[in-house]
Protein backbone atom coordinates (compact mmCIF):
# COMPACT_ATOMS: atom_id res chain seq x y z
CA UNK A 1 0.00 0.00 0.00
CA UNK A 2 2.77 2.41 0.98
CA UNK A 3 4.48 1.70 -2.24
CA UNK A 4 1.36 2.38 -4.33
CA UNK A 5 0.70 5.64 -2.47
CA UNK A 6 4.26 6.76 -3.00
CA UNK A 7 4.13 6.03 -6.74
CA UNK A 8 0.89 7.99 -7.06
CA UNK A 9 2.53 10.96 -5.30
CA UNK A 10 5.55 10.78 -7.56
CA UNK A 11 3.30 10.64 -10.65
CA UNK A 12 1.32 13.67 -9.49
CA UNK A 13 4.51 15.55 -8.83
CA UNK A 14 5.84 14.64 -12.27
CA UNK A 15 2.60 15.78 -13.94
CA UNK A 16 2.68 19.06 -12.02
CA UNK A 17 6.30 19.78 -12.95
CA UNK A 18 5.59 18.96 -16.59
CA UNK A 19 2.60 21.31 -16.53
CA UNK A 20 4.59 24.13 -14.98
CA UNK A 21 7.15 23.85 -17.81
CA UNK A 22 4.56 24.97 -20.38
CA UNK A 23 5.10 28.31 -22.03
CA UNK A 24 2.41 30.92 -21.39
CA UNK A 25 -0.45 30.47 -23.90
CA UNK A 26 0.94 27.07 -24.85
CA UNK A 27 -0.64 25.31 -27.82
CA UNK A 28 -1.64 22.35 -25.61
CA UNK A 29 -4.01 19.55 -26.64
CA UNK A 30 -7.64 20.44 -27.40
CA UNK A 31 -8.93 16.86 -27.22
CA UNK A 32 -8.00 13.21 -27.48
CA UNK A 33 -9.35 11.12 -30.36
CA UNK A 34 -9.37 7.41 -29.50
CA UNK A 35 -9.43 5.14 -32.55
CA UNK A 36 -10.75 1.59 -32.64
CA UNK A 37 -8.57 -1.31 -33.72
CA UNK A 38 -10.41 -1.92 -36.95
CA UNK A 39 -7.85 -1.42 -39.73
CA UNK A 40 -9.28 1.94 -40.81
CA UNK A 41 -7.23 3.98 -43.27
CA UNK A 42 -7.02 7.74 -42.80
CA UNK A 43 -5.49 10.73 -44.58
CA UNK A 44 -6.90 12.40 -47.69
CA UNK A 45 -3.64 12.07 -49.65
CA UNK A 46 -4.83 8.48 -50.19
CA UNK A 47 -7.94 7.68 -48.16
CA UNK A 48 -10.81 9.35 -46.29
CA UNK A 49 -10.33 11.95 -43.53
CA UNK A 50 -9.99 11.37 -39.81
CA UNK A 51 -13.10 12.48 -37.90
CA UNK A 52 -11.72 15.98 -37.21
CA UNK A 53 -13.51 19.31 -36.97
CA UNK A 54 -12.54 22.23 -39.16
CA UNK A 55 -9.44 23.84 -37.67
CA UNK A 56 -8.20 20.71 -35.90
CA UNK A 57 -4.77 19.24 -36.64
CA UNK A 58 -2.93 16.02 -35.77
CA UNK A 59 0.86 16.35 -35.53
CA UNK A 60 2.81 13.38 -36.93
CA UNK A 61 6.56 12.78 -37.16
CA UNK A 62 8.26 10.12 -39.28
CA UNK A 63 11.61 8.33 -39.59
CA UNK A 64 12.97 8.65 -36.03
CA UNK A 65 13.97 8.17 -33.36
CA UNK A 66 17.34 9.80 -34.03
CA UNK A 67 19.42 11.29 -31.18
CA UNK A 68 19.69 15.06 -31.62
CA UNK A 69 16.78 15.97 -33.89
CA UNK A 70 14.23 13.77 -32.05
CA UNK A 71 15.43 15.19 -28.70
CA UNK A 72 14.88 18.72 -29.98
CA UNK A 73 11.43 17.79 -31.33
CA UNK A 74 10.51 16.41 -27.89
CA UNK A 75 11.70 19.64 -26.25
CA UNK A 76 9.69 21.84 -28.63
CA UNK A 77 6.53 19.74 -28.09
CA UNK A 78 7.01 19.79 -24.31
CA UNK A 79 7.47 23.57 -24.30
CA UNK A 80 4.04 23.86 -25.95
CA UNK A 81 2.57 21.04 -23.80
CA UNK A 82 1.30 19.39 -26.93
CA UNK A 83 1.26 15.82 -28.23
CA UNK A 84 2.05 14.08 -31.50
CA UNK A 85 2.15 10.64 -33.09
CA UNK A 86 5.60 9.32 -34.04
CA UNK A 87 5.90 6.76 -36.85
CA UNK A 88 9.25 5.16 -36.12
CA UNK A 89 11.37 2.84 -38.22
CA UNK A 90 12.25 -0.51 -36.67
CA UNK A 91 15.89 0.06 -37.62
CA UNK A 92 16.10 3.28 -35.58
CA UNK A 93 14.15 1.75 -32.70
CA UNK A 94 16.61 -1.14 -32.59
CA UNK A 95 19.52 1.33 -32.52
CA UNK A 96 17.98 3.83 -30.08
CA UNK A 97 15.46 1.96 -27.90
CA UNK A 98 15.84 4.35 -24.95
CA UNK A 99 15.00 7.34 -27.11
CA UNK A 100 11.95 5.49 -28.48
CA UNK A 101 10.80 4.89 -24.92
CA UNK A 102 11.37 8.54 -24.03
CA UNK A 103 9.02 9.56 -26.85
CA UNK A 104 6.29 7.29 -25.47
CA UNK A 105 6.90 8.28 -21.86
CA UNK A 106 6.55 11.94 -22.83
CA UNK A 107 2.92 11.10 -23.66
CA UNK A 108 3.11 10.79 -27.43
CA UNK A 109 1.51 8.02 -29.49
CA UNK A 110 3.80 5.65 -31.39
CA UNK A 111 3.32 3.72 -34.62
CA UNK A 112 5.49 1.78 -37.06
CA UNK A 113 6.99 3.11 -40.30
CA UNK A 114 8.57 -0.13 -41.64
CA UNK A 115 11.91 -1.54 -40.55
CA UNK A 116 14.41 -0.25 -43.10
CA UNK A 117 12.28 2.38 -44.89
CA UNK A 118 12.51 0.58 -48.24
CA UNK A 119 10.54 1.29 -51.40
CA UNK A 120 8.16 -1.63 -50.85
CA UNK A 121 6.72 -1.37 -54.36
CA UNK A 122 10.03 -2.42 -55.87
CA UNK A 123 10.37 -5.53 -53.66
CA UNK A 124 8.98 -9.05 -54.04
CA UNK A 125 6.13 -9.83 -51.61
CA UNK A 126 8.18 -12.08 -49.27
CA UNK A 127 10.76 -9.31 -48.77
CA UNK A 128 8.03 -6.76 -48.08
CA UNK A 129 6.55 -9.04 -45.43
CA UNK A 130 9.99 -9.70 -43.95
CA UNK A 131 10.48 -5.94 -43.51
CA UNK A 132 7.09 -5.67 -41.77
CA UNK A 133 7.85 -8.59 -39.49
CA UNK A 134 11.29 -7.23 -38.59
CA UNK A 135 9.75 -3.82 -37.92
CA UNK A 136 7.07 -5.30 -35.68
CA UNK A 137 9.67 -7.31 -33.78
CA UNK A 138 11.74 -4.20 -33.12
CA UNK A 139 8.62 -2.27 -32.04
CA UNK A 140 7.46 -5.01 -29.66
CA UNK A 141 11.03 -5.31 -28.32
CA UNK A 142 10.95 -1.67 -27.22
CA UNK A 143 7.30 -0.99 -26.35
CA UNK A 144 6.16 -4.47 -25.31
CA UNK A 145 3.07 -4.41 -27.55
CA UNK A 146 2.32 -4.52 -31.27
CA UNK A 147 2.03 -1.25 -33.21
CA UNK A 148 -1.57 0.05 -33.37
CA UNK A 149 -0.81 2.06 -36.51
CA UNK A 150 1.44 1.85 -39.57
CA UNK A 151 2.53 4.45 -42.09
CA UNK A 152 3.92 3.12 -45.37
CA UNK A 153 7.40 4.41 -46.26
CA UNK A 154 6.98 7.06 -49.01
CA UNK A 155 3.20 6.42 -48.48
CA UNK A 156 3.63 3.56 -50.96
CA UNK A 157 0.81 1.18 -50.09
CA UNK A 158 1.30 -2.42 -51.25
CA UNK A 159 -1.25 -5.25 -51.28
CA UNK A 160 0.80 -7.89 -49.38
CA UNK A 161 1.63 -5.58 -46.45
CA UNK A 162 -1.90 -4.17 -46.43
CA UNK A 163 -3.36 -7.69 -46.15
CA UNK A 164 -1.31 -8.43 -43.01
CA UNK A 165 -2.15 -5.04 -41.46
CA UNK A 166 -5.84 -5.80 -42.07
CA UNK A 167 -5.52 -9.18 -40.38
CA UNK A 168 -3.92 -7.49 -37.36
CA UNK A 169 -6.46 -4.63 -37.28
CA UNK A 170 -3.70 -2.04 -37.64
CA UNK A 171 -4.72 1.52 -38.57
CA UNK A 172 -3.07 2.77 -41.77
CA UNK A 173 -2.07 6.40 -41.41
CA UNK A 174 -1.57 8.54 -44.47
CA UNK A 175 -1.52 12.36 -44.38
CA UNK A 176 -3.64 15.39 -45.24
CA UNK A 177 -0.87 17.93 -45.59
CA UNK A 178 2.86 18.31 -45.12
CA UNK A 179 5.73 20.76 -45.12
CA UNK A 180 7.89 18.93 -47.71
CA UNK A 181 10.73 18.77 -45.19
CA UNK A 182 13.15 16.64 -47.15
CA UNK A 183 16.17 17.21 -49.41
CA UNK A 184 16.64 18.88 -51.82
CA UNK A 185 13.75 21.17 -50.80
CA UNK A 186 14.41 24.53 -49.20
CA UNK A 187 14.16 23.83 -45.46
CA UNK A 188 14.83 27.26 -43.97
CA UNK A 189 12.60 28.01 -40.98
CA UNK A 190 10.61 30.75 -42.74
CA UNK A 191 10.04 28.55 -45.79
CA UNK A 192 8.79 25.62 -43.71
CA UNK A 193 6.47 27.91 -41.74
CA UNK A 194 5.10 29.53 -44.91
CA UNK A 195 4.49 26.09 -46.44
CA UNK A 196 2.67 24.92 -43.33
CA UNK A 197 0.47 28.01 -43.07
CA UNK A 198 -0.36 27.85 -46.81
CA UNK A 199 -1.31 24.16 -46.58
CA UNK A 200 -3.37 24.70 -43.42
CA UNK A 201 -5.34 27.51 -45.08
CA UNK A 202 -6.02 25.30 -48.07
CA UNK A 203 -7.05 22.16 -46.12
CA UNK A 204 -8.47 23.84 -42.97
CA UNK A 205 -6.59 21.38 -40.74
CA UNK A 206 -5.89 17.64 -40.84
CA UNK A 207 -3.00 15.22 -40.35
CA UNK A 208 0.31 17.06 -40.72
CA UNK A 209 3.37 15.13 -41.91
CA UNK A 210 6.77 16.17 -40.55
CA UNK A 211 10.08 14.35 -39.97
CA UNK A 212 11.62 14.24 -36.49
CA UNK A 213 14.73 12.56 -37.90
CA UNK A 214 15.42 15.75 -39.82
CA UNK A 215 17.57 18.50 -38.23
CA UNK A 216 15.97 21.46 -40.07
CA UNK A 217 12.48 20.27 -39.02
CA UNK A 218 13.58 20.03 -35.38
CA UNK A 219 15.09 23.53 -35.62
CA UNK A 220 11.91 24.95 -37.16
CA UNK A 221 9.46 23.19 -34.85
CA UNK A 222 9.11 25.98 -32.23
CA UNK A 223 8.19 28.38 -35.07
CA UNK A 224 5.90 25.81 -36.72
CA UNK A 225 4.01 25.20 -33.46
CA UNK A 226 3.72 28.94 -32.88
CA UNK A 227 2.26 29.35 -36.38
CA UNK A 228 -0.30 26.62 -35.65
CA UNK A 229 -1.30 28.37 -32.42
CA UNK A 230 -1.28 31.92 -33.85
CA UNK A 231 -3.53 30.85 -36.73
CA UNK A 232 -6.07 29.41 -34.30
CA UNK A 233 -5.67 25.69 -35.04
CA UNK A 234 -6.26 23.13 -32.27
CA UNK A 235 -4.19 19.98 -31.71
CA UNK A 236 -5.93 16.61 -31.43
CA UNK A 237 -3.98 13.80 -29.77
CA UNK A 238 -4.49 10.30 -31.22
CA UNK A 239 -4.85 7.21 -29.06
CA UNK A 240 -5.88 3.62 -29.77
CA UNK A 241 -8.17 1.31 -27.86
CA UNK A 242 -6.26 -1.38 -26.00
CA UNK A 243 -5.85 -4.85 -27.38
CA UNK A 244 -5.55 -6.16 -30.91
CA UNK A 245 -9.05 -7.64 -31.08
CA UNK A 246 -12.60 -6.34 -30.69
CA UNK A 247 -13.33 -4.79 -27.30
CA UNK A 248 -15.65 -6.93 -25.16
CA UNK A 249 -17.54 -5.66 -22.12
ZN1 LIG B 1 9.49 8.05 -43.99
| Cα 64 to ligand 1 centroid, rounded to whole Å | 9
* pLDDT reported for residue 5: 53
**CATH H-level superfamily of 39-239:** Glycoside hydrolase/deacetylase (3.20.20.370)
Ligand 1 centre and the CA of 213: distance in Å? 9
Contact 210, 179 (CB under 8 A): yes
Q: How remote is the CA of residue 5 from the centroid of ligand 1, in Å?
A: 43
- In the reported structure, the alpha carbon of residue 30 is separated from the centroid of ligand 1 by a whole-number distance in angstroms of 27
For residue 16, what are the contacts with CB-CB under 8 A and spacing of at least 6?
A: none
Query: E strands, 182-240, where?
Result: 206-211, 234-240
Cβ < 5 A residues, ion ligand 1 = 62-63
37-68 pLDDT per residue, tens: 999 999 999 999 999 999 999 999 999 999 99
> Does pLDDT of 216 surpass 90?
yes
pLDDT in tens, 158-195: 999 999 999 999 999 999 999 999 989 999 999 999 99
What is the 8-class DSSP label of residue 147? -
Return the ∠ at Cα 235 (arms to 112 and 40), rounded to 5°.
40
3-state helix, strand, coil split of the chain in percent (to 5) is: 45, 15, 40
Cα 234 to ligand 1 centroid, rounded to whole Å: 25
Backbone angles phi, psi at 206, to 5 degrees: 125, -170
Asked if 163 and 118 count as a contact pair (C-beta separation under 8 A), the reply is no
* Ranges of each domain in the chain: 39-239
pTM for the full model? Answer: 0.90
Amino acid sequence: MMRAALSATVLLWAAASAASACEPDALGVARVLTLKREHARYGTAQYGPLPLQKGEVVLTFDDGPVPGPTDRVLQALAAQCTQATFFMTGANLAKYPELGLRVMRAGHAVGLHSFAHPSLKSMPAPEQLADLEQGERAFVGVFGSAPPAYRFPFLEETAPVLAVLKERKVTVASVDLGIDDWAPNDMRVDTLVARLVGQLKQKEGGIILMHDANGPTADALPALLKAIRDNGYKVVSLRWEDGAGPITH
